[in-house]
Amino acid sequence: MPNPSTRTDRATGQPRAHESATKHVSGQATYVDDIVEPRGCLYAAVGYSSIARGHIRTLDLSGVLASEGVVDLLELADVPGHTDIGPVFPGDPLLTSDEIRYVGQPIFAVAATTELQARRSVKHAVIEYEAKAPLLDVTHALKELAFVRPSHRMQRGDARSEIEDAPLKLEAEQHLGGQEHFYLEGQATLAVPGEDGGMLVYCSTQHPSEVQKLVAEVLNVPANRITVDMRRMGGGFGGKETQAAPWACLAALLASKSGRAVKLRLPRCDDMPMTGKRHPFYNRYRIGFDLLGRLLGAEITVTGNCGHSPDLSDAIVDRAMFHADNAYFIPAVSIDGHRCMTNTVSHTAFRGFGGPQGMMIIERAMDDIARTVGRDPLDVRKLNLYGGPGRDLTPYHQQVEHNLLPELIEQLEISSDYRQRREEIRQWNRSNPVLRRGLALTPVKFGISFTVQHLNQAGALLHIYTDGSIQLNHGGTEMGQGLHTKVVQIVAETLSVAPEQIQVTATRTDKVPNTSPTAASSGTDLNGQAARNAAIELKQRISQCIAEQKGEEIDTVRFYKGRVYWSDSDSISFAEAAQLAYMNRVSLSATGYYRTPKIWYDREHARGRPFFYFANGAAVSEVVIDTLTGEYRVLAVDILHDVGRSLNPGVDIGQIEGGFIQGMGWLTTEDLKWNAEGQLISNSPANYKIPAISDTPPRFKVALFKRDNAEATIYNSKAVGEPPFMLAISVWSALRDAISSLSDYRISPDLDTPATPERVLRAVMRTREARSQKGGEP
């Protein structure tokens, strides 16, 4: 047997293809809507409110019931159990018979023989409302103190007096748009009734345990009667963390009432108006800084537009606050977070979970400072990074350890030719009559761990069968991020077997109970460790057995490349080892469990260590804008990102690229619009534009920063799901840079997001006006 210290059999670190890739490309990967329905299955559709605020005066569903193919109907009064399905705090009624709080609020659900019949029948509902003027503007809500949850403050030092005493001061505000998840697979559930009031629920959800709990509660049965099964989602991005549950509950209730299987799949035209989105934010800063551009103090306010109910907004606005410093040390700081109520769908988790909205305000400040002191924004950013004596404490008093951003930025600055390009662009901008180019480098420092403590735990269940094949189950859900691929690699490495020997099964609440949502980028950190712990346990049992059988010390037993050795020359195959263990009555099934160490947080005093570690990265983006129309292209993007020791570089680069493009969409073309009545008018992909293939920059270079995580994470890797999303702030900053060039970089233009061509053109016009008022040169 080779020396274990030079082992070449590491399964992690390889760019293995996604475990379902072959199934994806051949149409064999099964999503909830693809499951062949049980006989007699009914199809459900949901009737929802067309007004944003008021009451139902009369509700006449006789036409619905009489409609062709309709078999059953569900109203609020038919719900045997809980009727509020708020995930953390109450406020999310499953159905309403009275008060209306947003357009798209479910009023009834119907089950019919075909999906089209169900959808057509909904149109026969006659609903009269007593409508009130909706509250839609977040600044009005802030003035009226219309909050879904109490406000919260973090502070360190006396920001006010530091700003007062600073040589230079600025204040500014920004509005940031929300974002539709646009998972390609819409919300979908298939509920199959079983014995004892139980239900098997196939649901496209990031949080099977919560769906299980809520279905049990609405049906008024114990949780042990409900099983949720989730093989894969066609995209989640946070949009299936809490937003999958209402449809699962409605399908289960209809299934229970009718005694038949019920499928409820939201067509896109219902999914977009009925499900929550990324929170729009309204942010402000007041800062003081020195003549070099070094921050001395900052007062920051972040205000989330939460929609009608709390949902996850407490934690989302907290995370915005935790990231309002991004990568920068602020000597004296206060950060206020507000959670405003408006009459729209309840905004919810979306990749970054408030972090991107928080970072945007400090990144705006960096550019604004640079224009004020006349320096390159990159120099101002570098000057303000965490690092150096006494400059390592966040506004929530966590020490920034293992800070690698200064070095990472230095590398990227060189590899991207930032300085030469900056000079070339300055020259070029003087010569073109219409177009302007812009360049920006922005960093990301993103805290990894759920800020809600108890969620930082995970479980796994591992079986070894007597033929040596392995079945792996854990609490995480696969939404395309490659979680199962990585966890298979982790188990393969732990047992030193081929990844092909391991079959991952659907995530099921009857295999691993009480799981956390697959969210907060934590899927692999938590579930990978839990699965590894299960594998270590089984390895230990098999080793013990072989040691006993072969009369050797347990320490001599080694697993290597699919074989088990008890001396340099004696070995049996892994399958034979499994068979031997079975014959000797050793259990080949184990659970694994993991909880994140070191973290604690005292929210009352806004102080602690909410994050186990930080994931870092930086991006350089170059854009060109058209000063006649505001149209633009992203020309080049260079990214250097920190994933610790990569478990799978293929998967990790995919997360970085995909996250970046999704972030770019949020900040550029993805324009959510509600009309004055509170109806979502960007309600289809015809008028809500996520990035398409030509938006991918012609030059798109992504590299991994090579350094193991200093914390003891799973094989010293780092989480990668969310952090790259915020690298796209560089695109927004580059757009502002291009606009600022019209003032010879003296004016720092307002540019709310999404920075649509229309907003860019407006900023161009205002910059030109301001320049001519200042009497500057062109």
The single residue listed with the structure tokens 């060039």 is 741
Cα angle, residue 467 at apex, residues 462 and 468 outer, rounded to 5°: 45
Which of 130, 631, 722, 769 is catalytic? The answer is 722
Give the chain's radius of gyration (CA, Å).
27
| Residue 726 DSSP code | G
How far is it, in rounded angstroms, from Cα 106 to Cα 253? Answer: 14
Which CB sits closer to another protein, 599 or 720?
Answer: 720
Kindly give the interhelix angle for 729-740 and 757-774, rounded to the nearest 10 degrees. 40
Contacts of 129 (CB under 8 A, 6+ apart): 49, 50, 51, 54, 55, 56, 57, 100
Q: In residues, how long is the chain? A: 778
Rounded CA-CA distance 308/688 in Å is 22
Tokens 């490495």 found at: 493
CB closer to another protein out of 591 and 696: 696
Minimum Å gap between C-beta 633 and another protein is: 5
**Which residue's structure tokens are 């994470």?**
713
Query: Which of 63/387 has CB closer to another protein?
Result: 63
Question: Closest separation between CB of residue 340 and another protein, Å?
Answer: 24
Which amino acid makes up residue 425? I
Report, in Å, the least distance between residue 322 CB and another protein.
26
Q: Closer CB to another protein, residue 68 or residue 164?
A: 68
Examine residue 2 and say whether the peptide bond preceding it is cis (omega within 30 degrees of 0).
no
Nearest to 96 by CA among 75, 114, 74: 75
**Closest separation between CB of residue 177 and another protein, Å?**
12
- The set of residues, in sequence order, having a beta carbon less than 8 Å from that of 481 and lying 6+ positions away, is 523, 651, 655, 721
Cβ-count burial 328-351 (b if 16+ within 10 Å, e if not): bbbbbbbbbbbbbbbbbbbbbbbb
| CB atoms near residue 434 (< 10 Å) | 9
CB 439 to another protein: min, Å: 15
Give min distance, CB of 556 to another protein, in A: 40
Give 77 or 676: the residue with its C-beta nearer to another protein.
Answer: 676
Min dist CB 693 to another protein, Å, is 5
Strand runs labelled E in 78-179: 99-100, 106-112, 126-131, 147-156, 168-176
Centre a 10 Å sphere on the Cβ of residue 25 and count the other Cβ atoms it contains: 9
Structure tokens at 187: 């919300």
Respond yes or no: is residue 722 known to be catalytic.
yes
User: Coil, strand or helix: which one is 521?
Assistant: coil
For another protein, give the closer residue by CB, 297 or 630. 630
- Do residues 649 and 12 touch, judged by C-beta distance below 8 A? no
Q: Which residues pair with 340 in a beta bridge?
A: 147, 305
Q: Closest CB to another protein among 662 and 733?
A: 662
What DSSP assignment string belongs to 639-685? EEE--BS-S-HHHHHHHHHHHHHHHHHHHTT----B-TTS-BS--ST
Q: Are strands 558-560 and 507-508 parallel, antiparallel or unpaired?
A: unpaired
Which CB, 78 or 631, lies closer to another protein? 631
| Distance of closest approach, residue 48 Cβ to another protein, in angstroms | 15
For the bound state, the minimum distance from the C-beta of residue 654 to another protein, rounded and expressed in Å, comes to 5
Q: What are residue 315's phi and psi, to 5 degrees?
A: -70, -35
Q: How far is the CB of 697 from another protein (least distance, A)?
A: 9
Beta carbon nearer to another protein, 25 or 77: 25
Minimum distance from residue 103 beta carbon to another protein (Å): 15
455 vs 727 by CB, closer to another protein: 727
Dist CA 475 CA 606 (whole Å): 30
Phi-psi region of 40 (alpha: psi -120 to 50; beta: other; left: phi over 0): left
329/386 Cα distance (integer angstroms):
5
Query: What one-character-per-residue DSSP string does 356-377 give?
Result: HHHHHHHHHHHHHHHHHHT--H
Considering the complex, state which of residue 403 and residue 507 has its C-beta at the smaller distance from another protein. 507
- Catalytic machinery residues: 722
